[in-house]
Chain A
């Protein structure tokens, strides 16, 4: 099987190169070359799928002749984690990268199969170049061949680290990878647009969806990682400004900026250099994240392996940066804006400010993350920056972002008159003031000025968004005569991009409220309790009722039963514990070995909309360890036939000696030893039930932290709404040609303007001007289509429907 896998991987590499070459051969728009190239890309995807299937089958079947399986799985590893073990390995994660890229590239080429004939060849070449790079790494770089074999195959594997045996392991890494990888698509089309100098919004329209998908995947991956980290002990809570976390956050922030600024280019033909640079930056950051995990250049919680592939990825980043910069500089003349910003009080100027903030935030995080290298360069000493430094800069930037997130949607494109502004801002400002005042009077939020500012701005932004939904629905009701709720649903489903985006905004603001509250008003205490003792943390009385023990084949668990009381009333019980695993590959042997392997904490978590109570325990197992050592000594004395040993022991000792000479008895002896030691281990572990040694408890009371997860999920839902195909598309009336896409975009703009006018965001005067201008532009597109001035396929809509 591994030979087959190697062969498929080799073929995939050749297919990637071939697809790139074929695409370039068809760069003059020759459909035959392009069709062939597209099909080779599909074949590339199929070949890599084959590789992934072979690896996963090897994991499922415990085929330890595969090095990757022997290193990252074992017979006892639970089935679900066997499948996830692929990406816990260096080579498996590279395969995942390449595989996801093959899927994204196939999807992108399928979606553009009838348009953008000039861009597609170059975009294909870029995507397949990157694909060939990653496939080639697995084939030619040392130590990362996923199909490397072991001869002879070991009987059992090392297993997946218990710390990684967490449901998040199954989805968190693939989500992050999908996010990283999907940014390749908009990057590739941007390069295509630059090379062919077709720098209007067509490349953006074609890849906006991919950028949004990448953004949503990356965001979801970050959220899952935060949640996982939150439920583990010693991972610094949900966010620790760890280099690897930062490496995933940076492309997400730049991607957020990109998603906003492309709207400005689509609508107004501005920010072309900025958009091209942003997507290059985003893609480079995604590569940088891939590099950081594999390089060992920075200290992180996430362990870094030996840097076998780091230098290659760094090389790719250098090529991407130098090549793209040269390309952008050489195309500066073609990248000039069609228009200029009319007024500072317009949606596009707020988008621009938001972009500056997001890029500034990325710059701060980049500087902080790479500061150890920077400082070594200048002072000769490696020095690093801790969380407070990051907080100091990112907090004000995030607060300003919330403010602009509130202002942006309230403004119309191009310009807003003073009268209109007064009307739309009145209520949100009033609500923000009332909320701020209430917080100061009723809570201790005033202790933290930053948090208070964030809450007030969040109230402003949320009210503004609610007003958007309200006035939009009201306008629709007037126009269509639908009932209120129906009008709201109709409004959202007819304008998915806009209102999906607003829902994302609501989600992100709610998430930031959770972050601000839980980081500024958290209570964090380390307490030592004996069984029966109590402590009070932030108004909650925690009583250590009794110690608990859980024993199974692979681990010993020691924990406690805690009673939680609020205002003298019992509100629940928590059961934090700590699991001690035997070192992997060591299923029998001395009981004391349980304490030589990994240990993981099960955090006791009581979730609430107001507060989370989070308790981790470090049980004092010194007595158990002593007892285990004694039992081990007793066991070896006993089987050696020391005087006064029980008969069962003597019999086992005899069996073991016989097995030493006769291998056929080994299995039987092995089984008896395991059974006897299992019993002994259980007895020793149960000794903990009567302990009166104090355990250390880490108690954290986190206000509003649940809203982080709620907000995150809301944002994801908003992204899904924005991505969902419109009714026309679902019925098969696909927008297949570039001219159609341009028409549709212009019609949408006209609809948007009508809605803004009906919702009172555009004055009659401004609307009349804008509407006339948009209609003139729409006519120009229609004229151009009839005269067939552009390079798109001259198809009539009827033909498109039939084909």
Chain B
């Protein structure tokens, strides 16, 4: 086989592999991702809906029950009805009323049940121009 042809075949094979991998990447990302929702959208969601919820913890709503906690969240703009949330395990340091959180979980009986280890509380300090003090 002449080298020109060989090189061309090699290129086609490499590109083919790259395209296949890219397709796999795209496919799995759409199937593995969790939808991002706000509390108000989850209030009316059917039971069993799984989502990555972003909301604001209602001040004074946090109650501790052994290893678990329950609290309520509202939309990030602070409007609308609040959604009850349960979570088990250690919570991040900045977690408290009034803070924005991101939590993955499932809606069961009108309560959002968070998966352990998925609670993210936004660190409130860096580059915030809106002071929450």
Which A residues are closer than 8 A to B by beta carbons? 71, 88-90, 93, 143, 158, 160-161, 163-164, 232-236, 293-294, 299-306, 308, 360, 364, 367-368, 371-372, 375, 379, 381-386, 388-389, 392-393, 524, 526, 528, 578, 583-585, 598-601, 616, 618, 620, 622, 694, 696, 698
Contact call B92/A234, Cβ cutoff below 8 A: yes
Q: Assuming the A-B contacts A89-B127, A598-B94, A696-B67, are A526 and B88 also in contact, with contact meaning beta carbons closer than 8 angstroms in the complex?
A: yes
Verify A384–B36 contact, CB threshold 8 A.
yes
Q: B96 and A599: CB pair below 8 A?
A: yes
A385–B33 touching, CB < 8 Å: yes
Report yes or no: B93 in contact with A302, Cβ–Cβ below 8 A. no
Tell me which residues across on chain A come within 8 A of B130, comparing CB atoms: 306
Q: Which among B25, B93, B124 has the highest number of chain A CB atoms within 10 Å?
A: B93
Cβ B127 vs Cβ A303 within 8 A: yes
B93 touches A599 (CB 8 A): yes
- Asked if B122 and A163 make an inter-chain contact with CB atoms under 8 angstroms apart, the answer reads no
* Contact yes or no, A234 B90, CB < 8 A: yes
**A233 with B92, Cβ < 8 A, contacts A305-B128, A386-B104, A386-B118 known:** yes
The range of chain B's interface size is: 35 or more
Contact of A305 among B25, B92, B104, B127 (CB under 8 A): B127
Known: A383-B33, A386-B34. A303 touches B126 (CB 8 A): yes
Q: When the two chains form their complex, are residues A616 and B90 in contact, meaning their CB atoms are under 8 A apart?
A: yes
B91 within 8 A of A: yes
Q: Is B29 an interface residue (CB 8 A)?
A: yes
B119 touches A234 (CB 8 A): yes
| A381 & B90 in contact (Cβ 8 Å cutoff) | no
The 6 tightest CB contacts between A and B, nearest first, are: A234-B92, A161-B125, A305-B127, A383-B33, A382-B36, A698-B90
Q: In the docked arrangement, what's the CA distance between A562 and B129, Å?
A: 41
Q: Are B128 and A163 in contact (CB under 8 A)?
A: no
Are A304 and B129 interface neighbours, CB within 8 A? no
Asked if B34 and A163 make an inter-chain contact with CB atoms under 8 angstroms apart, the answer reads no
Residues in A whose Cβ lies below 8 Å from that of B52: 383-384
A308 and B34 CA atoms in complex are apart in Å by: 29
Q: Is the CB of B121 within 8 A of A90?
A: no
Which partner residue on chain B sits nearest A601 by CB separation? B93
Q: Which residue of A lies closest to B90 (CB)?
A: A698
Chain A to chain B contacts (Cβ below 8 Å), 23 pairs: A164-B126, A233-B90, A235-B92, A299-B36, A299-B54, A299-B102, A299-B120, A301-B122, A305-B129, A371-B33, A375-B29, A375-B33, A381-B36, A382-B36, A383-B35, A384-B52, A389-B32, A393-B25, A599-B93, A601-B93, A618-B90, A696-B90, A698-B89
For B94, list chain A residues within 8 Å (CB): 163, 234, 598-599
Inter-chain contacts of A161 with B (CB < 8 A) = 123-126
Give min CB distance, A341 to chain B, whole Å: 10
Q: Could you say which residues of chain A place their CB within 8 Å of the CB of B21?
A: 360
Output the least CB separation between B22 and chain A (Å): 8
How far, in angstroms, from A669 to B121 measured CA to CA in the complex? 39
A578 / chain B contacts, CB cutoff of 8 Å: 93
Residues of chain B touching chain A, judged by Cβ–Cβ distance below 8 Å, are 21, 25-26, 28-30, 32-36, 52, 54, 64, 66-67, 88-96, 102, 104, 116-131, 133
Q: How far is the CA of A143 from the CA of B117 in the complex (A)?
A: 36
Q: Residues of B contacting A600 with CB < 8 Å? A: 93
Evaluate contact between B127 and A294: CB separation under 8 angstroms.
yes
Residues of B within 8 A of A158 (CB): 131, 133
B14 to A, closest residue via Cβ: A356
Please give, as numbers and ranges, the residues of chain B lying within 8 Å of A360 by CB-CB distance: 21
Q: Are A384 and B33 in contact (CB under 8 A)?
A: yes
B133 near A584 with CB under 8 A, answer yes
A618 touches B125 (CB 8 A): no
Q: Please, how many angstroms separate the alpha-carbon atoms of A375 and B33 in the complex?
A: 9
A622 vs B95: C-alpha distance when bound (angstroms): 16
The chain A residue with its CB closest to the CB of B24 is A393
Separation of A154 and B130 alpha carbons in the complex (Å): 17
Point out the residues of chain A lying under 8 angstroms from B33, CB to CB.
Answer: 371, 375, 383-385, 389
Most B Cβ at <10 Å: residue of A303, A392, A393, A601: A303
Shortest distance in angstroms between B35's beta carbon and chain A's nearest beta carbon? Answer: 5
Q: How far is the CB of A365 from chain B (nearest CB, A)?
A: 11
Q: Are B35 and A382 in contact (CB under 8 A)?
A: yes
Inter-subunit contact A381/B125 (CB<8 Å): no
Known: A234-B94, A599-B93. 14 other contacts (CB 8 A): A161-B126, A234-B92, A234-B121, A293-B127, A300-B122, A301-B121, A303-B122, A303-B124, A386-B32, A389-B29, A526-B88, A526-B116, A528-B66, A584-B133
Q: Which residues of B contact A236 (CB under 8 A)?
A: 120
Bound state CA distance, A772 and B125, in angstroms?
Answer: 63
C-alpha spacing A634/B52, complex, angstroms: 44
Q: Say whether B35 contacts A371, CB under 8 Å.
A: no
List residues of chain B with CB within 8 A of the CB of A234: 90-95, 119-121
CA of A705 to CA of B74 in the docked complex: distance in angstroms? 39
Nearest chain A residue, comparing its CB with the CB of B126: A303
Q: How far apart sit A313 and B36, CA to CA, in the bound complex (Å)?
A: 26
Point out the residues of chain A lying under 8 angstroms from B127, CB to CB.
89-90, 93, 293-294, 303-305
Closest to A578 in B: B93
Q: Are A163 and B102 in contact (CB under 8 A)?
A: no
Residues from chain A with Cβ under 8 Å of B131 in the complex: 71, 158
Contact A88 B54 (CB under 8 A): no
Q: Smallest CB–CB gap between B132 and chain A, Å?
A: 9
Known contacts A158-B133, A234-B90; decide if A384 and B126 are in contact (CB<8 Å): no
Closest to B130 in A: A306
Report the separation of the CA atoms of residues A371 and B29 in the bound assembly, to the nearest whole angstrom.
Answer: 8
Contact of B93 among A233, A372, A385 (CB under 8 A): A233
- B64 contact from A88, A232, A585, A620, Cβ within 8 A: A620
**What separation, in Å, do the CA atoms of A620 and B62 have in the docked complex?**
13
- Which residues of B lie under 8 Å from residue A300 when comparing CB positions? 122
